[in-house]
Amino acid sequence: MHYLSSSDSIQTSSLSCLCLTISGDKQLPSSSAQLLNTEQGKEVASLIKDLSFSAGVGEVLLLPRTNERPFHILLAGLGERDKQDSIQFAKSSDAIASMVKSKKLTTVTFSFDETLKISPTDATSILVESFETSHYAFDAYKAKKSDSPSLESVNFHVSADQLEATKNAVSYAQAMSKGRSVARSLGNEPGNVCTPAFLAEQALALGGSSSAINTSVLEEDDMTKLGMGAFLSVSKGSTEPGKLITMEYNGAGDAAPLVLVGKGITFDTGGISLKPGAQMDEMKFDMCGAASVLGVMTAIAELQPPLNIIGVIAAAENMPAGNASKPGDIVTTASGKTVEILNTDAEGRLVLCDALTYVEKFKPAAVVDIATLTGACIVALGHSTSAVMGNNQPLVDKLTSAGLEARDKAWQLPLWDEYHTLLDSPFADVQNIGGKGAGSITAGCFLSKFAESYPWAHLDIAGTAWVSGKDKAATGRPVPLLLRYLMNHVGQ
């Protein structure tokens, strides 16, 4: 699909479909009317008033071609003007993309007018995301494949002073969408395909296809030498060897890097602390933190910003084999701290804690770990919002702000001292679970003990990384949040 940005005036003689945004007052904006001749303008204004089209958020209506108007007009409702924002526009944008797809339109043209409350560049970015999302399909294992998209080009007409910003917005949205699709597809892969080795292969392939990314993989023997007893306590119960994957992007010389660390449990049975059988199939999504890191690094390879960024994936499979870890086992982490494993289903924090120690070697400016870590996070925040916590308030603020900008929200939870005491162990330096309450917070407290030498934040994406049920699928979150967070550092 091609996205074309132009400051040239629209030639209606070459139009296939013109999209007009309409606010709740149902008035045809004067700038939109100027695109049409007198008769066409009267016709469209009359139809807007007469048809059952309220111009509400997400309401779309396609006006077919006529002899006097040889092109489609797609009316997109924006709702009441004083309530419009990027989130509301995204709903309308998704509806536009859905209509274009269902009607098999090949070309659609946008000219933003005075009804639009958000900037044309923001609107452009949101529309590109919607079109890319509407064309995503994961059908690798189906005999009948999805139909190829009919849409060939999307044209954005803006003023000359907005042209460069619009082109940049298109490039950013395409890169982000590509990264998000990578994350979605990795999450959707079945556990018998997407193993730690498979994740390593994908990371190596990214490095091979982009000279901007340098990928390396630590094997279990390497981790043994580094004393990663916590990581290995998880991977040892599986015939699939664990992998610690590092992807390095250098665009800023010797500057301290921004580091992302993703939890990559490619299948989580719970280990000896076995999970219930119902919906256990969805535990293939327990590597969505790792998938988001791969997705972000894919986007970074496209955008090539003047930053240093490192993506690390802690990949393992958690299985209940005869040599698997048992509740009550004590292991020594790469940091030298000992951990009493009270529940083998709290395994994500065990692979992450050694990865957090490992990234100290990069002398990072900041570290963010991303993990489908706790069911308690879903209880606290549901499926619309990720949890964020950390040891550095400015870093947490940057993440929550980026989430709002990217419409990929996160909400801060506390890491107060009283929660840390819930992890006290009579036999080791720390135990891997707290009590029944504050499960997301105590998981964050556990990780914080291994991130004391740099600014660190933790994103718990257990509620946002995938959708459950009949239409279960990975969402690709929080790729939008993470990419926006990284790109906000450009020029700082």
pLDDT in tens, 401-440: 999 999 999 999 999 999 999 999 999 999 999 989 999 9
| The token pair that represents 377 in the structure block | 């996070």
Task: Give the residue carrying structure tokens 């204004």.
Answer: 45
pLDDT (0 to 100) of residue 376: 98
Report the interhelical angle of 163-188 vs 120-134 (nearest 10°): 30
Please give the DSSP secondary-structure letter assigned to residue 78: E
334 to 226, 256, 349, 368, 448: CA distances (angstroms): 6, 22, 13, 19, 14
pLDDT (0 to 100) of residue 51: 81
| The token pair that represents 472 in the structure block | 């279960």
In order, the DSSP letters of 113-153 are -TT--S-HHHHHHHHHHHHHHHT----TT-SSPPPPP---E
Q: Span 116-121, mean pLDDT?
A: 91
Give 292's pLDDT tier (boundaries 50, 70, 90).
very high
> Which residues belong to CATH 3.40.630.10 in the chain?
189-487
| The token pair that represents 289 in the structure block | 């933190």
Q: Give the pairing of strands 107-111 and 17-23.
A: parallel
**Which CATH superfamily hosts domain 189-487?**
Zn peptidases (3.40.630.10)
Give 28's pLDDT tier (boundaries 50, 70, 90).
confident
Judge whether 60 and 19 are in contact, CB under 8 Å. no
The residue type at 40: Q
> Could you give the CA distance from residue 181 to residue 353 in angstroms, rounded to a whole number?
28
Q: Is 196 helix (H, G, I), strand (E, B) or coil?
A: helix
- How many Cα neighbours within 13 Å face the side chain of 418? 3
In the predicted model, is pLDDT for residue 299 greater than 80? Answer: yes
Using CA of residue 312, residue 375, residue 279, residue 472, what is the dihedral sign? negative
In the predicted model, is pLDDT for residue 183 greater than 90? Answer: yes
pLDDT (0 to 100) of residue 52: 82
* 281-290 residue pLDDT tens: 999 999 999 9
In the predicted model, is pLDDT for residue 114 greater than 80? Answer: no
For the chain, how big is the Rg over CA atoms in Å? 25
Judge whether 139 and 473 are in contact, CB under 8 Å. no
| Residue tagged active-site, from 275, 337, 407, 449 | 275
Give 134's pLDDT tier (boundaries 50, 70, 90).
very high
Give 135's pLDDT tier (boundaries 50, 70, 90).
very high
The residue type at 207: G
* 432-446 residue pLDDT tens: 999 899 999 999 999
Q: Is 224 helix (H, G, I), strand (E, B) or coil?
A: helix
CB atoms within 10 A of CB 289: 31
> Which residues belong to CATH 3.40.220.10 in the chain?
2-175
Task: Give the residue carrying structure tokens 């990214």.
Answer: 206
Average of per-residue pLDDT values in the chain? 96
214 to 204, 205, 294, 309, 353: CA distances (angstroms): 8, 10, 13, 11, 23
Residue 484 known to be catalytic: no
> Could you give the CA distance from residue 133 to residue 376 in angstroms, rounded to a whole number?
29
Task: Give the residue carrying structure tokens 């719970």.
Answer: 270
* Domain range 2-175, its CATH number among 1.10.40.50, 3.40.50.1820, 3.30.200.20, 3.40.220.10: 3.40.220.10
451 to 369, 384, 428: CA distances (angstroms): 10, 27, 19
In the predicted model, is pLDDT for residue 249 greater than 80? Answer: yes
CB atoms within 10 A of CB 364: 21
For 64-88, letters b (16+ CB in 10 Å) and e give eeeeebebbbbbbbbbeeeebebeb
* 215-248 residue pLDDT tens: 999 999 999 999 999 999 999 999 999 999 999 9
Q: Span 26-40, mean pLDDT?
A: 86
| Residue tagged active-site, from 349, 398, 477, 484 | 349
Judge whether 403 and 488 are in contact, CB under 8 Å. no
Judge whether 31 and 114 are in contact, CB under 8 Å. yes
Residue 275 known to be catalytic: yes
| The token pair that represents 441 in the structure block | 């917070």
Q: Which of 268, 75, 298 is nearest to 175 (CA)?
A: 298
| The token pair that represents 370 in the structure block | 């991303």
